[in-house]
Structure 1
Amino acid sequence: MRETFARWSDPALTLTVGGVGITIPPPTIRVGLQLKAMYADLLAGESADIPDLPALLLDGAQLPDRLTAFEVQHIARTAAAHFGGGPALSEHVWRSLDPNRDEPTAPTEPVQLLGPWGWYDPAPRAYGDDDPGGGPYNPHTGYRQWCNDPADTPDKPAMALTWSELFERWDAVVCDFQQHYGVDLDELADTRSITWLETRLAGLQEIPDSRIRILTNAKEAPRELP
């Protein structure tokens, strides 16, 4: 509960480079959904268009003039992971590289890192529901080189539905916002933040007759064996 309040009271992302704190405000709903869709495609193993992340996310941030191009890119990748994939993923992306290095060694897709056996995904559950996330993944053995401590893995997400599932039924999201909140998402897509949207999406799960609640119930209902 306290974590939820903390995200609401301070939704920005703060990173430290060379002892200087850099605050990145949350993107708008439209930009945030673009990032959510990008990560949903990448985590599903599909190709995704990677936008110009610094232009998309750092226009509202106060960046020191002395930052290198690599540092700017690394900050933007971390912000994309934070607002598109969640805090746990952004921490992995941020810690995967030293932001003070002169040359980048990361791939252009922020969710993928290079390991001894090729590109791998550090995020929890990337290779199965029991995958805690962590280091390089060996596709021949099905094991990681090292794994996160289970205590460090993210809690159960606030939304039972994944972003891929929400995008498939986006009509239900739009109609629920109109019916239960009296809000037209089209009118707010470029003025409200993605964190504003996420908070209210989670709230729709608690409304018994909302479309999101009905979809959640259908997903969580036990399936009978044939």
Structure 2
Amino acid sequence: MDPNDLSAPGTYGPDDPGGGPYDPATGLREWYRVEPEKLKPTRVERSITDCLHHWNLIELDLQDAGIDVESGVLRSRSWRWLRLRIESLAAEPSSRLHKALLRGV
């Protein structure tokens, strides 16, 4: 590490990620370096078919949302209605479906 490089990580303390000019009055940099692994998207892009492979998880997530698929509701609703709810589950980080899609299971 070059001691003259004020943009280097750790220059102003062990938690300093490095980056732009440092303001000693505020203790902040103008901008910070971002580690490449933190740039990875967390959004899951999957097809509806990928989602349907996890039907058991969809069923549990829908139950948590108050939709009992065994009640016959799917016979009275359109495919579009179900698809929108499945897409919503896939986008919701706390859902079982979202977590399974992230793991690539």
With the length of structure 2 as denominator, give the TM-score of the two structures.
0.49
Please identify the structure whose Cα radius of gyration is greater.
Answer: 2
Higher strand fraction (1 or 2): 1
